[in-house]
Amino acid sequence: MCTTREQLGQDPFKAIKPFPLEKTTDFLKTSLKAAVSIIVIFSISLVIYSVFNPNTRPAFFHWSELQNPALYISQLNSDNSTTNISHIAFGIGGSTRTWANRVQYSDLWWKPDVTRGFVFLEKKPHPKTRFKIQHRVSSDWTRFKRTAGSDSAVRIARVVVDLFRVGLPNVRWFVMGDDDTVFFSDNLVTVLSKYDHRRMVYVGGNSESVEQDVMHAYDMAFGGGGFAISYPLAAELVRVMDGCLNRYHYFYGSDQRVWACVGELGVALSRESGFHQIDVRGDLFGLLTAHPMAPLVSLHHLDSVKPLFPNQSQLESLTTLMKAYEIDPSRTLQQCFCYNHKHKWSVSISWGYAVQIYPVSLTAKELEMPLLTFQTWRSRSNGPFTFNTRPVDPDPCRQPIIFYFNSVEEDVGGETITTYKKFEVKPVIKSCNREYARALAIENIVVSASKMDPQEWKEVPRRHCCEINRSLTHQTMRIKIRKCKHSETITI
């Protein structure tokens, strides 16, 4: 075009004269070529610029080349060692909107150099957000069809695929959770090591609120409680998930999408009752003092319930619970109960959390049924739940006196001593009967137990028994937890 202008400059009149036809097409061809070259050069420079400039680089996470899954599975088959924490890869579904507040939960349980995995976010987190777990930006999730649920439902459903494609070595299990899930990873290992990771396995739990199970699915692993996918199943999900996501575009959550894709492979949920979605509101006391006979694997939705311990923030409460958990993971929250027949007291222990003294006789079936201190998730009603509950007695003289976990020690012989301290009582119950007054005089409870062998969880579980020391000294009650004898019953 410069040349044309120069030519024009040489003879201004020529420009006015019409060009002969062939000259015109030549001119057009040249201009077109020039234009195309300029566009091509411009686009190439733009691409080069954006690749090398970190600010404009596409933020999506890019997959690396992986080892052939079939080859890896054959290696898995020849390794007979028991599963430990190093065999788990965690994939936490997060978002930069909530991450700054929820990072406190993953920081509680994440152990750098021990736990492996990443939190997957939709973009880079704010540089001032500090956290222990490493992050990745999810691979492109916007290309999938979605007619229900949020944008992040598709993205977080694909965490298992993104995590697999990171290519971490020696992974047997991929464990997914939300950014507000607290995992008790030793117990997670205990639970997962029961299963054969060389098969396609899908482990988790559903919602406590029936309304949620009806709305989503009973036989699905709810994502907040966390779920585990064995390596061979994850390898298949990587293959089928993209197509599957488009087929289930009308589902609500990310966990439901994963469940659908797992279902297409014909794999059913292996339900474990230690995964807690916590689709409830209110006070978890009733749930945590009557934990099912299974290791505590996870807790979720802790922002939506009262702090676990009175007079503590939720974070302080979890730190308190973790103290007991660190000493004896398998026994954490395990319930056992015994009676003081002389005073007709029923005593129920939730190890590492609380002891209750009921100054009335309650049967074993009553004691192991959660007290209704919480409501359903959506409608905030008194049920139904996926387990039975018993109402809190309106008569304060029939309500338990509560002692909350205070300290834990371990002696050289592997015995643990946990102490529980009475929390303030309502003034009204000071005028209950004589037996109640006697129980009220107790200030502390000291519980001794041997550390529970995780191996016990591989067998059919049996609740442990306890014995109350008859002598009350210094307003302290002493209780010993031990395995029940063969034909021992716990009878009022």
Binding site for ligand NAG (CB under 6 A): 78-81, 84-86, 311, 424, 469, 471, 473, 478
> Kind of pairing, strands 354-358 and 345-350?
antiparallel
Rounded to a whole number of angstroms, the minimum distance from the CB of residue 119 to ligand NAG is 22
User: For ligand NAG, which is the closer residue by CB, 309 or 385?
Assistant: 309
In the chain, the N- to C-terminal Cα span, in Å, equals 103
User: For ligand NAG, which is the closer residue by CB, 55 or 78?
Assistant: 78
User: For ligand NAG, which is the closer residue by CB, 26 or 79?
Assistant: 79
- CB atoms near residue 77 (< 10 Å): 10
User: For ligand NAG, which is the closer residue by CB, 85 or 440?
Assistant: 85
User: For ligand NAG, which is the closer residue by CB, 291 or 422?
Assistant: 422
Please provide residue 142's backbone torsions phi and psi, each rounded to the nearest 5 degrees: -80, -10
User: For ligand NAG, which is the closer residue by CB, 232 or 370?
Assistant: 232
Rounded to a whole number of angstroms, the minimum distance from the CB of residue 72 to ligand NAG is 14
d(CA 117, CA 126): 20
User: For ligand NAG, which is the closer residue by CB, 313 or 379?
Assistant: 313
- CB atoms near residue 18 (< 10 Å): 7
Rounded to a whole number of angstroms, the minimum distance from the CB of residue 349 to ligand NAG is 16
User: For ligand NAG, which is the closer residue by CB, 55 or 80?
Assistant: 80
d(CA 205, CA 300): 12
Q: Which two tokens stand for residue 271?
A: 């339900």
User: For ligand NAG, which is the closer residue by CB, 238 or 439?
Assistant: 439
* Residue among 396, 374, 399, 394 nearest 385 (CA): 374
Rounded to a whole number of angstroms, the minimum distance from the CB of residue 427 to ligand NAG is 14
d(CA 428, CA 358): 16
d(CA 162, CA 123): 14
* Residue among 288, 295, 294, 353 nearest 320 (CA): 353
User: For ligand NAG, which is the closer residue by CB, 219 or 409?
Assistant: 409
SS3 173: strand
Rounded to a whole number of angstroms, the minimum distance from the CB of residue 171 to ligand NAG is 11
Rounded to a whole number of angstroms, the minimum distance from the CB of residue 62 to ligand NAG is 29
- CB atoms near residue 388 (< 10 Å): 13
Q: Which two tokens stand for residue 294?
A: 């299974």
Asked if residues 291 and 350 have their Cβ atoms less than 8 Å apart, the reply is: yes
Looking up tokens 């680089």 gives 57
Q: Which two tokens stand for residue 55?
A: 């600010």
Looking up tokens 């016990």 gives 456
Rounded to a whole number of angstroms, the minimum distance from the CB of residue 478 to ligand NAG is 5
Sign of CA dihedral 364, 366, 369, 374: negative
Rounded to a whole number of angstroms, the minimum distance from the CB of residue 159 to ligand NAG is 24
Rounded to a whole number of angstroms, the minimum distance from the CB of residue 354 to ligand NAG is 14
> In degrees, to the nearest 5, what angle opens at C-alpha 222 toward C-alphas 221 and 227?
55
Task: Give me Rg for the CA atoms of the chain.
Answer: 31
Asked if residues 53 and 119 have their Cβ atoms less than 8 Å apart, the reply is: no
Rounded to a whole number of angstroms, the minimum distance from the CB of residue 318 to ligand NAG is 17
Looking up tokens 């880079």 gives 124
Asked if residues 177 and 115 have their Cβ atoms less than 8 Å apart, the reply is: no
Rounded to a whole number of angstroms, the minimum distance from the CB of residue 297 to ligand NAG is 18
SS3 121: strand
Looking up tokens 């137990």 gives 449
User: For ligand NAG, which is the closer residue by CB, 10 or 473?
Assistant: 473
